């Protein structure tokens, strides 16, 4: 992430004002939205404390505004709305409940205000929630509901014993939190795997170090290790930034020189350099500076190479010209779904009927054929394994012909398609129920040589639970999905959903009749194929028709 130009910050501030004004808590007499946004980078929100002699509804309304600014003042203002005993016991960072900015919360006096007690209920349209470690989950329920008890202290209404959470609009959340990646080494030690989190923009670098020390989330834990030794602790201010140089202080075992130290420095440096205010990192463990670590880097991915197929030929595309590959045997008539390794220009695969064909075209050229039945496009991971659905299950095939049956779930769900992320850590899986296809994601468990052994942490992706046509990775931490959509007039259409891991979903229209999709390094590089065989590739916001002679266009992976 790089620093944002001042003009973009100014536009964001204006957008926040406009969005926030449409999301006021609804009281008996709505108060103006008085959370102000300062023109600094990052954008900060602020709010006023409780007004004297506020009634219960007004107090709760103003409390919600103070919560919106909580990430910028450690909830100091919001605590002023609480009773004296609740103020110290409230831990709002345990859960963030995010509501749709286009709506606004409804407040109801659910228990008539007595002389010293009252209760106000809050309901809102949910978008997502955030847990204490910064992991975001898109909303599955239809409503956020909370009840706040109020008591009088010194003649003033105050909130008593609130839940350890706070409610905020999506616009205010995006102004105060950033989606960032905690990076952890793959078990093979040759790549960093992204573990996405949403962390407060204020003191971002310190939050990043705290997250690394805490370790990976459950969703990716089986695919990574933590180069930071167990027992490491974080002081109150673990990162000092001066002249864009971050000095990191942690307490714990000092890693020895060699691989352990190299991985730790790589992990911390790559994570912190996402901050626009940091260009260099110095690391001290128990006051020992870690110097002379060997520079490590991720694999060189080939994600934006377009692979095309004509009748009897597969090759890379230069504009619309196919540069044919020297395959030992040309693809048979009716062959489909060409695939290429995301890191190796010599490893390819395709489908011929119910057979999966894997070919290496280097000097030690080999071709392997495995019967897998139907199962959509194959997916080649960076370790050289070609994945395919097989009989409702999953198979991974090496270029030497070794076939692995991949499992890990009991009872095992049925799959019709698998797509492996470029870093090899995750798999997108489409269910085999043709009437109601769902999209799932799982972690790939591998040995230290990269050989897959099983899947773990299978979960249905929130917000995309049915009517999925196809899915593809778009880089290492984002993916795109084609799904059928029922319009209000009863007609159907196909929608393109773009999803960042651990982030929000955005949707746009896809070419009519699209049923297959493949993406490169990001959602801007996408090609689709319709049920009639027409190919379209996106350039910016526009879809371009591709030459009619091409059977398929796909990106590596």
Are both 493 and 549 inside the same structural domain?
yes
Domain-located, residue 539: yes
Residue 430 is encoded by which pair of tokens? 């489409």
Question: Is 47 within the bounds of a domain?
Answer: no
Q: Once rounded to an integer, what is the mean pLDDT over residues 89-111?
A: 94
355-388 pLDDT, tens per residue? 999 999 976 778 999 999 877 899 999 999 999 9
pLDDT tens digits along 105-127: 999 998 776 789 999 999 999 99
Task: Note whether residue 353 is domain-resident.
Answer: yes
pLDDT at 530: 96
90 and 192 housed in the same domain: no
Q: State how far Cα 442 lies from the chain centre.
A: 13
Helix axes 204-214, 259-272, angle to 10 degrees: 140
Shared-domain flag, residues 413 and 429: yes
Question: Confidence band (pLDDT; 50, 70, 90) for 43?
Answer: low
Q: Are residues 137 and 89 in the same domain?
A: yes
Residue 248: band (very low, low, confident or very high) from pLDDT cuts 50, 70, 90: very high
Asked whether residue 31 is assigned to any structural domain, the reply reads: no
Cα gap 334→25, rounded to integer Å? 60
Q: Are both 106 and 216 inside the same structural domain?
A: no
Report the phi/psi class of residue 116: left, alpha or beta, with left for phi > 0 and alpha for psi in -120 to 50: alpha
At which residue do the structure tokens 């099983």 appear? Answer: 454
Which residue, among 275, 191, 264, 214, has the nearest Cα to 239 in the 3D structure? 275
- In percent, the amount of the chain with pLDDT more than 70 equals 90
Greater confidence, 235 or 466?
235
pLDDT tens readout for residues 175-204: 999 999 999 999 999 999 999 999 999 999
Q: Is the dihedral of CA 128, 133, 134, 135 positive or negative?
A: negative
Residue 31 has pLDDT above 90, yes or no: no
pLDDT of residue 9: 34
Q: Could you tell me if 357 and 473 lie in one domain?
A: yes
pLDDT at 26: 38
Domain end residue (candidates: 228, 258, 289): 289
Residues 79 and 185 in one domain: no
354 lies in the same domain as 224: no
Q: How many CB atoms lie within 10 A of CB 4?
A: 14
The reply to whether 485 and 361 lie within a common domain is yes
CATH number at residue 406: 2.120.10.30
197 and 229 belong to one structural domain: yes
Is the CB of residue 306 less than 8 Å from the CB of residue 316?
yes
Predicted confidence at residue 385, as pLDDT, reads 98
Rounded average pLDDT over 10-23: 36
- Residues 340-365, mean pLDDT to the nearest whole number: 92
Percentage of residues in the chain with pLDDT exceeding 90? Answer: 76
**Domain termination site, one of 156, 174, 192:** 174
Please give the residue range of the domain that contains residue 345: 307-554
Both tokens of 197, joined, read 């989190």
Judged by DSSP in three states, 19 sits in helix
Task: Give the CA angle between residues 212, 423, 454 to the nearest 5°.
Answer: 90
Q: How confident is the model at residue 391 (pLDDT cuts 50, 70, 90)?
A: confident
Higher pLDDT: 43 or 389? It is 389
- d(CA 206, CA 114) in angstroms, rounded, equals 45
pLDDT score of 488 more than 50: yes
- Phi, psi for residue 242 in degrees, rounded to 5: -135, 125
Say if residues 97 and 136 touch (Cβ distance below 8 Å): no
CA 333 to CA 351: how far, in whole Å? 11
Is the pLDDT score of 226 beyond 50? Answer: yes
Is the pLDDT at 23 greater than 70? The verdict is no
Does position 20 have pLDDT exceeding 60, yes or no? Answer: no
Residue 28 has pLDDT above 60, yes or no: no
How confident is residue 412, by pLDDT bands cut at 50, 70 and 90? Answer: low
Residues 269-289: tens digit of each pLDDT: 999 999 999 999 999 999 999
- Model confidence band, residue 490 (pLDDT cutoffs 50, 70, 90): low
In a domain, 518, yes or no: yes
**Highest-scoring range by mean pLDDT, 41-50, 135-144, 366-375, 396-405:** 396-405
What residue has token string 């809102």? 124
Residue 487 in domain: yes
CA distances (Å), 323 to each of 319, 363, 364, in order? 10, 19, 21
Please indicate, yes or no, whether residues 265 and 246 belong to a single structural domain of this protein. Answer: yes
Q: Give residue 30's pLDDT band: very low, low, confident or very high (50, 70, 90).
A: very low
Residue 115 sits in a domain whose CATH number is 3.10.450
- Quick one: pLDDT at residue 107? 96
Q: What is the pLDDT of residue 290?
A: 95
Q: How many domains does the chain have?
A: 3
Residue 21 lies in a domain: no
- Kindly state the tokens that stand for 525: 């590089």
The pLDDT of residue 541 is 79
Pairing, β 307-310 against β 288-289: unpaired
CA atoms within 13 A on the CB side of 112: 2
**Residue 460: C-alpha distances to residues 56, 231, 484 (Å):** 41, 34, 17
More confident residue, 31 or 134: 134
pLDDT-derived band at 493, boundaries 50, 70, 90: confident
The predicted model gives 167-182 an average pLDDT of 96
Q: What is the 3-state secondary structure (H, E, C) of 43-110?
A: CEEECCCCCCCCCHHHHHHHHHHHHHCHHHHCCHHHHCCECHHHHHHCCHHHEEEEECCCCCCEEEEE
Taking 60 as the threshold, does the pLDDT of residue 306 lie above it? yes
Domain assignment of residue 51, yes or no:
no
Q: What is the pLDDT of residue 42?
A: 53
Buried b (16+ CB within 10 A) or exposed e, 242-281: eeeebebbbeeeebeeeeebbbbbbbbbbbbbbbeebeeb
User: Are 148 and 157 contacting, i.e. CB atoms less than 8 angstroms apart?
Assistant: no
Verify that 525 and 501 share a domain, yes or no: yes
Mean pLDDT of the chain: 89
Q: Which of 174, 190, 216 is the last residue of a domain?
A: 174
């Amino acid at each position: 992430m790089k620093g944002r130009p001042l003009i973009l910050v100014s536009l964001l501030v204006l957008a926040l004002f406009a969005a926030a004004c449409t999301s006021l808590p609804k009281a008996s007499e709505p108060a103006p939205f008085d959370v102000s946004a300062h023109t600094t980078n990052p954008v900060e929100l602020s709010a006023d404390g409780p007004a004297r002699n506020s009634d219960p509804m007004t107090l709760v309304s103003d409390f919600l505004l103070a919560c919106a600014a909580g990430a910028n003042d450690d909830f100091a203002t919001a605590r002023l709305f609480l009773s004296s005993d609740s103020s110290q016991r409230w831990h709002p960072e345990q859960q963030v409940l995010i509501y749709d900015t286009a709506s606004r919360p409804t407040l109801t006096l659910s228990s008539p205000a007595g002389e010293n007690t009252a209760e106000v209920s809050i309901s809102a349209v949910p978008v997502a929630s955030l847990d204490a470690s910064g992991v975001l989950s898109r909303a599955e329920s239809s409503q956020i509901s909370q009840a706040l008890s109020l008591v009088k202290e010194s003649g003033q209404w105050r909130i008593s014993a609130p839940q350890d959470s706070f409610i905020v609009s999506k616009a205010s959340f995006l102004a105060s939190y950033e989606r960032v990646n905690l990076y952890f080494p793959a078990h093979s030690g040759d790549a960093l795997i992204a573990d996405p989190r949403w962390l407060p923009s204020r003191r971002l670098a310190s939050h990043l170090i705290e997250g690394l020390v805490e370790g990976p989330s459950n969703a990716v834990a089986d695919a990574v290790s933590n180069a930071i030794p167990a027992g490491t602790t974080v002081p109150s201010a673990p990162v000092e930034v001066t002249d864009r140089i971050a000095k990191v202080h942690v307490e714990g075992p000092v890693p020895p020189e060699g691989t352990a130290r190299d991985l730790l420095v790589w992990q911390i440096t790559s994570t912190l350099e996402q901050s626009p205010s940091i260009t260099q990192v110095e690391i001290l463990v128990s006051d020992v500076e870690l110097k002379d670590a060997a520079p490590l880097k991720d694999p060189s991915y080939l994600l934006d190479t377009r692979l095309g197929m004509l009748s009897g030929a597969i090759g890379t595309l230069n504009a619309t010209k196919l540069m044919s590959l020297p395959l030992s045997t040309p693809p048979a008539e009716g062959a489909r779904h060409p695939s290429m390794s995301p890191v190796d220009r010599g490893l390819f695969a395709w489908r011929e009927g119910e057979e999966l064909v894997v070919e290496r075209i280097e000097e030690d050229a080999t071709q392997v054929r495995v019967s897998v039945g139907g199962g959509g496009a194959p997916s080649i991971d960076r370790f050289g394994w070609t994945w395919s659905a097989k009989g409702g299950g999953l198979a991974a095939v090496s270029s030497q012909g070794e076939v692995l049956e991949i499992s890990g779930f009991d009872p095992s769900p049925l799959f019709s398609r698998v797509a492996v992320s470029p870093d090899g850590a995750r798999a997108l899986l489409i269910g085999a129920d043709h009437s109601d296809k769902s999209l799932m994601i799982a972690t790939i468990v591998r040995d230290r040589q990269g050989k897959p052994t099983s899947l773990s942490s299978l979960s249905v992706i929130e917000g995309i639970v049915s009517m999925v046509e196809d899915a593809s990775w778009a880089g290492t931490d984002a993916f795109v999905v084609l799904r059928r959509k029922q319009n209000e007039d009863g007609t159907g259409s196909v929608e393109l959903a773009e999803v960042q891991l651990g982030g929000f979903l955005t949707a746009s229209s896809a070419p009519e009749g699209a049923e297959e999709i493949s993406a490169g390094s990001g959602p801007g590089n996408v090609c689709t194929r319709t049920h009639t065989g027409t190919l379209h590739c996106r350039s910016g916001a526009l879809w371009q028709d591709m030459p009619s002679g091409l059977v398929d266009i796909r990106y590596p992976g």
